[in-house]
Amino acid sequence: ETGVTQTPRHLVMGMTNKKSLKCEQHLGHNAMYWYKQSAKKPLELMFVYSLEERVENNSVPSRFSPECPNSSHLFLHLHTLQPEDSALYLCASSQDPLGGYNEQFFGPGTRLTVL
């Protein structure tokens, strides 16, 4: 595997379900990100982890819970979601979240539908 991978690619869940999204980066980067992408809207940064420490939490509802067990893996745990949470969830990684040129590498995303 190379780059940034995400599983599952598609997920349909009811509002009472609990599910988790998984992201893995094979680039040796120190920072990982979760984004939400809705149609015709800017990417919304949800969480940033640097060296497994959460450094950014952009007022995300508590029904989204991130976990970063090591610098290569990132999870997004989902529970009691709402239909408006349906979107594409993108994971990204970069060498460092701070300081100058900082290209982010994205995974293919998980298309989430909440019924």
Binding site for another protein (CB under 8 A): 4, 40-43, 45, 48, 56, 90, 97-109
Report the nearest approach of another protein to the CB of residue 98 (Å): 5
Encoded amino acid at 49, one letter: Y
Report the nearest approach of another protein to the CB of residue 90 (Å): 7
Cβ 111 vs Cβ 97: under 8 Å: no
Report the nearest approach of another protein to the CB of residue 17 (Å): 24
Closer Cβ to another protein, 15 or 55, answer by number: 55
The SS3 of residue 90 is strand
